Structure formats: C-alpha cells, structure tokens
Amino acid sequence: MPLLELRNLQRVYHTRKGAWGGKDEVHAVRDVSLSLERGRILGLVGESGCGKSTTGRMALGLEEADGGAVLFEGAPLPAAGSSDWRSLRRRMQMVFQDPLGALDRRLTIADQVAEPLVIHGIGSAAERRERVESLLHATGLRPDQGAAYPHELSGGQRQRAVLARALATGPDLLVCDEPVSALDVSIQAQVVNLLLSLQQEMGIAILFISHDLKLVGMISDEVAIMYLGRIVERGDPKALFRAPAHPYTRALLNAVPDPARRGPRPLLAGEPPNPAAQPSGCPFHPRCAMARADCTHIAPELKPIADGRLVACHLAHKGAAVAREAEAC
C-alpha cells in the first residue's frame, strides 16, 4: 500500500476579468494521479506555474482539492483544520522554497525547531531541548546557532534550520517545494546531500518538487513531468533520461547543460499558454515541433509504453517511425 496516493486531483481558481468583468476559471491541476511508497523519492518537475506546488500543498491538505482524493496509508486525508488532520500533520511535513520566509524572525532557531514538539505535546521540556540539539547536529548546525535569529544565519544555514524543524516530529513524509532553488549553487549540493543522507537514515518518503530535471533525475526513484496542470510523463528516471518519450520532457532535457553534447540542441520555444485559456487537444501542441492534426483537438491520455513508463502523447504510441522522428528533434 502506498504511503501517499493522489487520485485524479483537480484544482480550479477563479479570477476576475478586470474591475467589472466576469470570472475566468484557471485549472491549476487537472486529473493528477501519483503514488509514493515509504522510503522512496518521487520527483515532480515542470516550469513555473505548471501546478506542481499546488499539487504539493494539496498532498498535505494545506489546500483543498476541487476534485479527486488524497489518501495517506490508504485512508482519505481528514478535513483541513480538524483534530484528526492536526494529529496527522506530525507525520507529514513541508520544506519551503524560501527559508527566510518560512522562519519567524522574532524567534530563535532552537525555539522554532522545538515548536512542532510543543504543538504536538511530544516529550518533556528537557527531552525537547535534547531533541533540538540532536536535530541541529544532524543537519550540520552548531549548538550555539540554536540561539541565533534567522537573519543572523546564511541562506544555507537557514534551510538547514527549516529541515531540522520539519524533521522534529519524526515524519513519514516530506514535501520539499523547490528546497534549494533560493540557495547559491555552491550550497545547493550540500543541502541536497544532507537531505538524502537523512532520508536514507530515517526512511522518509519525499515528494521533491523542482524545475531542475537534472537534479530530480539524480536523486529520485521515480519522476513525474508536469505541464499546464497535467502529468505528461512518469517513470524511472534512468529510462526517462535515456529516451524521453514526451516532446516536453525532451525539451527540458535539451535545456540541461551537457559538455558532452555535440551539435545544435533544439530548445523549447515560446511560453506556456494562459491557464485560463488553455488550447484544445494536447495542451503542449502550440509549442511542439512534431504536432499533428489530432494533437490539436484530441487530448492524449496518460498510457503505458513498452518500458512501463506512462506518457500522455499521441506520438509516443505510434511506433518506431515516430520515435525516430522524435530523436531527430
């Protein structure tokens, strides 16, 4: 049984057209289904605005779904704000993108790491102090930095503090929303290596949300590619890197710097369509060099291909000739 399961999730926002206009429907998440086993890492990748952060918040019950269901250990997630949901939150934590924004500037780091323990009534005061010291050490912070305020730490140190706070209650699931994108490149690797080390040591399941396909491919057991609110490809990262089946996945890989690459690399053209006015058929077809007539009016379903991956693309299911054409692109 998966630890976390998302079934056909939907999320719609309503925006107003100007001061006197009507309302537009923005489908941020459309029919997203994912599952995550204990102790594994699922990477969710896509451009900004594709709905991946919204999906992560719905997975924790921080945002209500307009359709579908979130299951934790096979049971539907309790209603947000309910006593059952608050009790379950100790087992589900989130690591945010901006560590300074995620921390309270008025409290010391030690107080903030201890806060989840206080909220959930875990341990005595002495046991909490011991737990905080252990977490600071585990995440690479010195004991004296527990007395510091967020503005007194570097970006990497603040993210370590955020991670220590997320781990305080011993969660089974972490949702990491762009956890290193706000950090310097030299610090990103340190934080990722720390996260992987703690994940393996504690057996935590991680939903890792990022726009960096190369990073996600290196650390994940499974990767899901998201475009305009939909999952367009999902499967083993090695197979995905070796032979991407969806044109959008291929474009993302072409954008990854590779010193060994020779010759021109076709890059993704244009911007994602307006979510409030999505194109008919395949949502990617206006930017796809391989788009054909049926791509413009028939939305592809997420279906398995030969190696077990799931792909939402008409061309991925039309045989070797199309595959050769895809490689040429």
| Listed range (7-21, 45-59, 79-93, 284-298) with the worst mean pLDDT | 7-21
Q: With a cut of 50, say whether residue 320 has pLDDT above it.
A: no
Q: With bands split at pLDDT 50, 70 and 90, how would you rate the model's confidence at 263?
A: low
Tokens of 48: 């900004």
**Residue holding tokens 């994108």?**
181
Task: Report which of 210, 149, 164 is spatially closest to residue 183, judged by C-alpha positions.
Answer: 210
Give how far the C-alpha of residue 112 lies from the chain's centroid of Cα atoms, to the nearest Å: 24
**What's the confidence (pLDDT) of residue 126?**
95
Domains defined for the chain, CATH in brackets: 4-224 (3.40.50.300), 243-328 (no CATH)
Phi, psi torsion values for 205, nearest 5 degrees: -85, 140
pLDDT per position as a tens digit, 110-143: 999 999 999 999 999 999 999 999 999 999 999 9
DSSP 273: P
- The amino acid at residue 248 is Y
In this prediction, residues 94-108 reach a mean pLDDT of: 91
- For residue 278, how many other CB atoms are within 10 A of its CB? 19
In this prediction, residues 273-282 reach a mean pLDDT of: 83
Q: With a cut of 90, say whether residue 294 has pLDDT above it.
A: no
In this prediction, residues 291-313 reach a mean pLDDT of: 89
As a whole number of angstroms, the distance between CA 117 and CA 132 comes to 9
Phi, psi torsion values for 315, nearest 5 degrees: -75, -25
Q: With a cut of 50, say whether residue 324 has pLDDT above it.
A: no
Q: With a cut of 60, say whether residue 33 has pLDDT above it.
A: yes
As a whole number of angstroms, the distance between CA 126 and CA 168 comes to 15
As a whole number of angstroms, the distance between CA 324 and CA 37 comes to 34
**What's the confidence (pLDDT) of residue 248?**
92
Q: With a cut of 80, say whether residue 329 has pLDDT above it.
A: no
**What's the confidence (pLDDT) of residue 16?**
72
Radius of gyration of the chain (CA): 21
**What's the confidence (pLDDT) of residue 319?**
47
Q: What b/e sequence results for 90-111 when a residue is b if at least 16 CB atoms lie within 10 Å of its CB, and e otherwise?
A: bebbbbbbebeebbeeeebbbe
**What's the confidence (pLDDT) of residue 21?**
63
Q: With a cut of 50, say whether residue 215 has pLDDT above it.
A: yes
Phi, psi torsion values for 97, nearest 5 degrees: -70, -45
pLDDT per position as a tens digit, 229-241: 999 999 999 998 8
As a whole number of angstroms, the distance between CA 27 and CA 279 comes to 12
pLDDT per position as a tens digit, 75-91: 999 998 899 999 999 99
In this prediction, residues 229-255 reach a mean pLDDT of: 91
Q: With a cut of 60, say whether residue 310 has pLDDT above it.
A: yes
H-helix or E-strand spanning residue 305 = none
Task: Report which of 44, 101, 35, 93 is spatially closest to residue 69, judged by C-alpha positions.
Answer: 35
Q: What proportion of the chain, given as a percentage, has pLDDT over 90?
A: 60
Give how far the C-alpha of residue 303 lies from the chain's centroid of Cα atoms, to the nearest Å: 22
In this prediction, residues 296-324 reach a mean pLDDT of: 78
